[in-house]
Amino acid sequence: MAPELISNICKRPLMYVPDMKYLYVAMFIHGLDCGKDEILLREFTKFLEKKLDYSTAMLWFNLIEEIFDNRNPGRCEEKGEGVEKEKIELLKHLLDEFYSNRDALKFVLR
């Protein structure tokens, strides 16, 4: 699995999951990563913690919701396809930023 596949999942989530829900997309990606011994997203949580400026025991998919809520106070709890799409777009943006970082790529290409 390459970063391009993860990007494609975020671009066209309904090709991979039954509904346009952020957690479905995140769990699908998480499952793929677990199948690869977590090499693709191993450092992603640390990357997100730096964005939030604190350490936590939360997993990466929860941290993205935290970042979304920080940027859009109160919207994380809203229901609807619009909010779900925004969370998926944020996931894609943060993954693209993570993979564009040369330090992150060395972990992926090992």
- For the segment 61-106, what is each residue's pLDDT rounded down to a tens digit? 999 999 999 898 877 667 788 899 999 999 999 988 888 875 555 5
SS3 58: coil
- Number of Cβ atoms within 10 Å of the Cβ of 72: 14
Please tell me the predicted confidence (pLDDT) of residue 102. Answer: 59
Percent of the chain with pLDDT over 90: 33
The backbone region for 10, taken as left when phi is positive above 0, alpha when psi lies in -120 to 50, beta otherwise, is: alpha
Question: What rounded mean pLDDT belongs to the chain?
Answer: 84
C-alpha to C-alpha distance for 8 and 61, rounded to whole angstroms: 17
- Number of Cβ atoms within 10 Å of the Cβ of 33: 18
Nearest Cα neighbor of 50 from 92, 101, 5, 7 is 101
61: exposed, middle or buried (Cβ count in 10 Å: 0-12, 13-18, 19+): buried
C-alpha to C-alpha distance for 9 and 95, rounded to whole angstroms: 11
| DSSP H or E stretch at residue 24 | helix 22-35
Question: Quick check: 36 pLDDT over 60?
Answer: yes
